[in-house]
A and B are shown apart, each in its own frame.
Chain A
Amino acid sequence: MPTPVNKLPFQTVSVLGSGTMGAGIAQILAQAGCTVWLYDIETRFLESGLGRIQASLDAGVAKGKFTPEAAESALKKINTTTQLDLLRDCELIIEAVPEDLALKQGLFQSLDSICPANTLFASNTSSLSITALASATKRPQQFAGLHFFNPVPLMKLVEVIEGRQTDESTIKQLWELSLALNKTPVRAKDTPGFIVNRVARPYYGESFRILSDQVGDVAMIDQILTEAGGFRMGPFTLMDLIGIDINFAVTQTVYNGYFQEPRYRPHPIQAQMVAAGLLGKKTGQGFYTYENKHGK
């Protein structure tokens, strides 16, 4: 018996923001058969987003994951625009613009008056409050978090996040969409960091404290956690990859979201690395040194 295919609950979906996350989300939606409207503020950002999608699809074809025809038809499903007005016929808006509360709220506020009352709004934010974002609209019941992980085509997880006022049918539709996209959804309440970014805090926080206690250097701590713990990457290698500034920002968001709960307290080493511009692979120097600036 053939595996039942999860039916797509949405035919036309808009993705706001054509950066790494937005492009990835647009790609998997198009591959699943959705008509996608990719929005960004400038044409050059959209072009670069399409370039990312093209490269990712090419890589998939090269690895034999799907046919060149399938890749081409997915690409044809993606329309681009710099005009919010054109998004009025989308059934779902997924926002993936930079992590700035006012920026996101402004976009949702505009779309709230453009889109019909039944359009669902979702944010891919990794650490801002879904409830706070929803408050910018008159439809907080139809607003939820839909948090994908980088790289979107490869990572199986989606956090479906329930804001204070999100209603059950909104969660249900996003859950079904996640399944139709061949992802594994988990359900989380709107709390700082949701699940992954909150529960992972000690991996970094304790490692910093062990480091500053002079137990060993970063290489030793990474070695213990990978070779004794079985973690795929040690905390310092991982922070170099994520970006020490990004990791520090998430730590601060969760710390402040919980009103200075000591479990989430950032470490001075993080602030110092950021102040020095030593941000990890992307700058060529973080806890380790990388020969190539782009870490390749």
Chain B
Amino acid sequence: MANRRATSKSAGKTRVLLVCDGSLCPVTRFFQTTLSAKQDTYSLTLFNLEDEDSSLSTADGTEGYDGFDLILQTAMPHSAEDLVNALEDAGILDQISKQSSSLEPNPLVLLPGFYQLLGEGAAEFPFPVNLLGYSPLNLLQPERHRVELTYPIDCLDEAKELAGSFFESLGCSVTCYPESPGMVLPRVLACLANEAVSALVEGVASASDIDTAMTLGTNYPMGPLRWADKIGLDVILATLTHLHQVLGDDRYRPLPLLRQKVWANQLGEKTGQGFYHYPDTAFTTKPLLL
């Protein structure tokens, strides 16, 4: 079983399906850049989760694929259900199912693990997968290479090792622990953002004064509202909603202003407007294979 995955590799490469959201967010850019730089080890295929007519694009320009070893989702805050539906609509799931029927365990799936339950996520797939959650929030800023990995209680040790060595091969250090709602950094950041929003809503101070206070008064690397804009207000809201639902504690109740911003598509950097305005957001750029 240990070598099963190795045998499924084409020409010795790990075939990665990178599921992004059609914008060149820093997380997608990180994986694109680092995986493309390791063409001897990885073959990379991109899939846009949000584009209904999306076809797969591969590094060597050929259409199509012959199966995947790793499905890596960078699109946020899409659920495992969104992922499976999009792959199904594009006909990719059938192909993987065929591949999977003869192979156990099936593709390793890595998806954002802080706004959904991993066990529920794994159950969305029509074939068994080894699924782990990760937090890409460190990748939003340079030089923060510690990645959090989290796994459901029935995760295979082999899958944990594979996931860990995948990130290590990209130059990341890894902290791996059993599933915990919101993970560590995303939980803390979502709650800091919610608290900053509550201070804003109460009229305690302006958004920029709140951020200035937290960077100068307690040395945060970024003000919580500016940071929330970078992460995406939809991602912050999804994290808080998940924590609220799973832990049932009122401390995680998202401020209504967060919902209003999300409904208005003021998601932060990626839409050009959040708590601040971003006239030249780089996120409008479509991802392209390098």
Complex contacts, B137 vs chain A, CB 8 Å: 228-229
In the complex, the answer to whether B195 meets A201 with C-beta atoms within 8 Å is yes
Give the complex CA separation of A88 and B289 in angstroms.
73
Q: Is A32 an interface residue (CB 8 A)?
A: no
CB distance from B3 to the nearest CB of A (A): 32
Residue of B nearest to A149 (CB): B217
- What residues on B are CB-neighbors of A206 within 8 Å? 187-188, 191
Chain A, residues 216-259, CB within 8 Å of chain B (1/0): the string is: 10001101110111111101000000000000000000000000
- The answer to the question of B209 belonging to the interface, with a C-beta cut-off of 8 Å to chain A, is yes
Contact assessment for A186 and B213 in the assembled complex, using a CB-CB cutoff below 8 Å? yes
B185 x A195 contact (CB < 8 A): no
Q: Contacts of A186 on B, CB cut-off 8 Å?
A: 205, 209-210, 212-213
Which of A157, A199, A227, A228 contacts B199, CB < 8 Å? A199
A-binding residues in B (CB < 8 A): 135, 137-138, 141, 144-148, 173, 175, 177-178, 180, 184-185, 187-189, 191-192, 194-196, 198-199, 202-206, 209-210, 212-214, 216-222, 224, 249-251
**B203 to A229, Cβ gap below 8 A?**
no
Alpha-carbon distance between A206 and B205 when the two chains are bound, in angstroms: 23
Contact residues, A103-155 vs B (CB, 8 A): 149, 155
13 chain-A/chain-B pairs, Cβ below 8 angstroms: A149-B216, A187-B206, A202-B194, A210-B184, A216-B184, A223-B175, A228-B135, A228-B138, A229-B137, A230-B141, A230-B222, A262-B249, A262-B251
Q: Tell me which of A202, A220, A233, A262 contacts B195 (CB under 8 A).
A: A202
Docked complex Cα distance between A201 and B175 (Å): 24
Provide the bound-state CA to CA distance between A215 and B178, in Å.
7
Main secondary structure of the interface of A (DSSP, over half): mixed
Distance to closest chain A CB from B214 (angstroms): 6
Which of B141, B147, B188, B221 lies at the interface centre, i.e. has the most chain A CB atoms within 10 A of its CB?
Answer: B188
A225 touches B185 (CB 8 A): yes
A interface vs B, CB < 8 Å?
A: 149, 155-157, 159, 184, 186-189, 191, 194-196, 198-203, 205-207, 210, 213, 215-216, 220-221, 223-225, 227-233, 235, 262-263, 265
Cβ–Cβ contact B175 & A157, under 8 A: no
Complex CA–CA separation, A188 to B178 (angstroms): 41
The residues of B that contact A202 with a CB separation of less than 8 Å are 188, 191-192, 194-195
Q: How far is the CB of A237 from chain B (nearest CB, A)?
A: 12
- Across the interface, A191 reaches (CB within 8 A) one of B141, B195, B202, B218, namely B202
Select from chain A the residue with minimum beta-carbon distance to B215: A157
Most A C-beta atoms less than 10 A away, residue of B138, B217, B221: B217
Alpha-carbon gap, A221 to B202, bound state (A): 31
Given contacts A225-B184, A229-B185, is CB(A196)–CB(B195) below 8 Å? no
Instruction: Please report the C-alpha to C-alpha distance between residue A136 and residue B17 in the assembled complex, in whole angstroms.
Output: 67
Q: In the bound complex, how far is the Cα of B212 from the Cα of A262, in angstroms?
A: 26
B191 to chain A, nearest CB (A): 4
In the complex, the answer to whether A207 meets B188 with C-beta atoms within 8 Å is yes
Bound form: Cα–Cα A228–B195 in Å: 21
* A263 with B251, Cβ < 8 A, contacts A191-B202, A210-B180, A223-B146 known: yes
